Amino acid sequence: MSIMEYNGGSVIAMVGKDCVAIASDLRLGNQALSISSNFQKIFPVTDRIYLGLPGLATDVTTLRERFRYRVNMYTIKEEREIEPETFAHLVSSTLYEHRFGQYFIEPVIAGLSKTPSGGVKPFIAATDIIGCLNFAKDFVVAGTASSKLFGVAEGLWEPDLEPEDLFETISQSLLNAVDRDAFSGWGAIVHVITKDKVTTRTLKGRMD
Amino acid sequence: METSFALTGKGYVIVAADTTAARSIVKMKVDEDKIKELSSHLLMAYSGEPGDTVQFAEYVERNIRLYQIRNLYPLRPSAAASWVRRSLAESLRSRNSYTVSLLLGGYDLATHTPNLYWIDYLGTSVEVPFAAHGYGSYFALSLLDRYHDPEASLEEGLATLKRCIDEVSKRLVVSPGKYKVKIVDKDGVREVEL
């Protein structure tokens, strides 16, 4: 019995053309027993940054509260919103602070950073449970279905997808991966972040 | 073994917990009340490690009361659940942690909705339409998947609860005998006989 598989759940994030998408399943279980089919693992950090927290459910809530506090403090002190790159390092250092006595979470960050010319640049990152950052150019995965997610995403993802196509790609990747994982599933939620809006859709998956 | 159920319906939450206090294989008591009335519209069923349960439940009860005295208004169910969850999450990473499973049911007077929270000893908290703890959950949850209706009347809700209790009595080897059933709705908390 691994503590990382105690509650189950998976998150994936993907880069598109001037957009990013992040998606997760909605299951909360106690090992093989499902408790809830509406457990959120993805949280908005700013209007442009979303954070996915798959892993031990108690730490999902604890870290969510912790990041909300730290981002609020940053916003007040700096009098501006945090950038995705900075936030990724905030996540990393928060987790490394607990290097000996970890939070059992593998965070996934998806956001749009501002460029000097006034445009946006997609940003995704993931860390391990002690905060080792992984900046990827294509997609990042985490959670109990991560091995399956790698396979499907590797096959479906292509560069410069438009928001609608990116939504389709990330949705199909997630739904097909979690169907092969007993600890993930029970529906999914997908956020597509573009320059001027965030589209959130809840998907039905196989309910068995 | 210890079992507790709870379900929401149209404007109410029903919370039920068995009444046995056991130590090892011996039943020490058969009329133990394991559902605390935390405030006028808040119920908490607790189970787990004997000793921890009562200690933690009383700690929660007094703190909820203290908040009400200080602020002249009670905590809403979601706020109470957050506070209880945090207490357990902090306890988990301390030298001696509480091993307590909770079902927190309340009626939110601000939104006029019934709320139910499933909370375990790790500090996992989730809002659910129905929930169960203990060995009974393996039987009751699948029954509730089939029969639970969020728009059901109180009579229908109690009938669904009865199904759960009967199923556990029928199929579980170490099934508890008696249950205490409490309801919370717009008029507050009350106990009912099944």
Q: Mutating which of A1, A26, A60, A61 best tests the B interface, going by the most B Cβ atoms within 10 A? A: A61
Interface membership of A105 toward B (CB under 8 Å):
no
Query: How far does the CA of residue B162 sit from the closest CA of chain A (Å)?
Result: 20
| Partner-chain contact A35 B131, CB within 8 Å | yes
Alpha helices, DSSP H only, in chain A?
57-78, 84-96, 146-156, 163-178
- Contact between B128 and A35 using a beta-carbon 8 Å cutoff: yes
Query: Residue holding tokens 């007040």?
Result: A76
B189's tokens = 């908390």
Contact B124 A36 (CB under 8 A): no
Is B120 close to A30, i.e. CB distance below 8 A? yes
Nearest CA to CA, how far is A184 from chain B (Å)?
Answer: 16
- CB interface of B with A, residues 37-96, below 8 Å: 85-86, 88-89, 92-93
Residue of B nearest to A32 (CA): B138
What pLDDT, on a 0 to 100 scale, did the predictor assign at position B104?
Answer: 98
B44: pLDDT strictly greater than 90: yes
Percentage of chain B exceeding pLDDT 90: 95
The pLDDT of residue A107 is 98
Q: What is the pLDDT of residues A2-38, one digit of tens each?
A: 999 999 999 999 999 999 999 999 999 999 999 999 9
Q: Confirm if B130 and B144 have CB atoms less than 8 A apart.
A: yes
d(CA A121, CA A129): 26
Measured between beta carbons, which residues in chain A are less than 8 angstroms from residue B93?
101
In this prediction, residue A9 carries a pLDDT of 98
CB of A58 within 8 Å of a chain B CB? The answer is yes
Of the residues B88, B119, B125, B126, the best mutation for testing chain A's interface (the one with the most A CB atoms within 10 Å of its CB) is B126
Interface residue A31 vs chain B (CB under 8 A): no
pLDDT of residue A1: 85
CB atoms B128 and A36 under 8 Å:
yes
Whole-number pLDDT of residue B1: 72
Q: Please, is A173 exposed, middle or buried when counting C-beta atoms within 10 Å of its C-beta (0-12, 13-18, 19+)?
A: buried
Average pLDDT over residues B46-74: 97
In B, which residues are within 8 Å of A28 by CB distance? 124, 126
Distance CA B139, CA B144 (A): 9
Q: Please list, in sequence order, all residues whose beta carbon lies within 8 angstroms of the beta carbon of residue B135, skipping any fewer than 6 positions away.
A: B1, B3, B172, B174
Distance, in angstroms, between A79 CA and closest chain B CA?
29
Note whether B133 contacts A: Cβ–Cβ < 8 A.
Answer: no
In total, chain B counts a number of residues equal to 194
Taking residue A136's Cβ as centre, other Cβ atoms within 10 Å add up to: 15
Closest Cα in chain A, distance from residue B85 (Å): 8
Q: Which residues of A touch B122 (CB under 8 A)?
A: 56-58
SS3 B89: helix
Is B122–A56 a contact, with Cβ atoms under 8 angstroms apart? Answer: yes
Q: What is the pTM of this model?
A: 0.96
Q: Are A33 and B138 within 8 A, CB to CB?
A: yes
- The tens digit of pLDDT for each residue in B166-193 reads 999 999 998 888 999 999 999 999 999 9
Enumerate the residues of chain B whose CB falls inside 8 A of the CB of residue A57: 122, 124, 126
The answer to whether residue A35 neighbours chain B at the CB level (below 8 Å) is yes
Return averaged pLDDT per consecutive 10 residues of chain A, 208 residues in all.
Answer: 96 98 98 96 98 98 98 98 98 98 98 96 98 98 98 98 98 98 97 97 93
- Write down the pLDDT at residue B156: 98
**CB spacing of B124 vs A61 below 8 angstroms:** yes
pLDDT surpassing 90 at residue B50: yes
Tell me the average pLDDT across B135-153: 96
pLDDT confidence bin for B127, thresholds 50/70/90: very high
Residue identified by tokens 């959670």 is A143
| DSSP string covering A34-90 | EEES----EEESSSSEEEE--B-HHHHHHHHHHHHHHHHHHHHHHTSPPPHHHHHHH
